[in-house]
Amino acid sequence: MNWLNAMNNAVEYIEANITEKLDIEQVAKIALSSTFHFQRMYHIITGVTIGEYIRRRRLTLATQDIISGEKIINVAYKYGYETPEAFTKAFRKMHGVSPSAARESGANLKAYPKLSFHISIKGDKDMNYKIFNKGSFKVVGKQTRISMVNEQNFNQVPKFWYDCMEDGSYDWISSRASKLGMLGVSKDFDKYKNEFNYMIAVEEIKDTLPKGYISATIPALTWAAFESVGPVTKALHDLVRRIYTEWMPSTGYQHECAPDIEVYPAGDMSAPNYRCEIWIPIKK
């Protein structure tokens, strides 16, 4: 329950300071998480980024201020917009009408309510997992920088796999895969730029690395490994959502500030019976 209370405390902090310049790092601390993993976890659970949630809440509250008669310019500055024009643009994007038109009788407006977090254990599908300790090990492969701004990561990661298949690096990496299989490693999270490095990799090999390939060290950690069954793109995303919304709140584990690893055995990743794993670094 500590995890659940922490997430709700973070939302309450946002609400109490909604007209101030919010420090996401401070919000993440209240949620007992690193900045990156709080942002990632929040998006997985709610379907929106924390920045988008704050924007929608501000515009929802701003609408009530405008309807009650406050000057639009004052409302714009109150909710952190540098100019009335910027506020009007954001307002119109959300509501489909200008702030002044919102005062008219019968105007169609949208409201985005304050979120609260609750445990959701449906029990309609098993979650197969194991917890184990693994010492430090090295991985080698190709790496790219991924941005989470505006959810670009959901397009950039699949594109990186496709690009590696096109340029031949996928074949070079996969031909050197151990019994464990190919790995997708998310690491080096930048809490300020909301970015991380993503590697398509295998466990360290003795071959001399060609130009453009790198080696990275994964620290000794406690891992929770979850089995995913089905086409990778959808099945893995659904699994990660269940890990954060069901498994973590009910077990008391939290995400350790360390890399996440996707483990892909040989096989057709688009097949309905394809089995892979995601390893989440954890701590109590």
pLDDT digits (tens, 9 = 90+) for 226-272: 999 999 988 888 888 888 878 887 777 888 888 999 999 989 988 99
Which residues does residue 184 pair with via DSSP β-bridges, in sequence order?
200, 262
User: What is the distance between the alpha carbons of residues 250 and 248, in angstroms, rounded to a whole number?
Assistant: 5
Q: What angle is formed at CA 254 by the lines to CA 253 and CA 260, rounded to 5 degrees? A: 115
Compute how many other C-beta atoms are within 10 angstroms of the C-beta atom of residue 148. 21
> What is the per-residue pLDDT for 178?
87
Domains of the chain, CATH where assigned: 2-103 (1.10.10.60), 129-283 (3.20.80.10)
Average pLDDT over every residue of 158-174: 94
Element (H, E) at 249: helix 248-251
User: What is the distance between the alpha carbons of residues 260 and 139, in angstroms, rounded to a whole number?
Assistant: 13
From 82-96, 133-147, 193-207, the region with the lowest mean pLDDT: 193-207
Average pLDDT over every residue of 76-87: 94
Element (H, E) at 224: strand 221-229
User: What is the distance between the alpha carbons of residues 278 and 243, in angstroms, rounded to a whole number?
Assistant: 10
Q: What share of the chain is helix, strand, coil (3-state, %, to 5)?
A: 40, 25, 35
Give Cα separations from 223 to 164, 187, 260 (angstroms): 28, 15, 9
From 30-39, 217-226, 260-269, the region with the lowest mean pLDDT: 30-39
Q: Which amino acid is at 112?
A: Y
> What is the per-residue pLDDT for 234?
85
Give burial (CB, 10 Å; 0-12/13-18/19+) of 197. Answer: middle
> What is the per-residue pLDDT for 123?
52
- 32 vs 80, higher pLDDT: 80
59 band by pLDDT with thresholds 50, 70 and 90:
very high
User: What is the distance between the alpha carbons of residues 106 and 99, in angstroms, rounded to a whole number?
Assistant: 14
User: What is the distance between the alpha carbons of residues 59 and 91, in angstroms, rounded to a whole number?
Assistant: 6
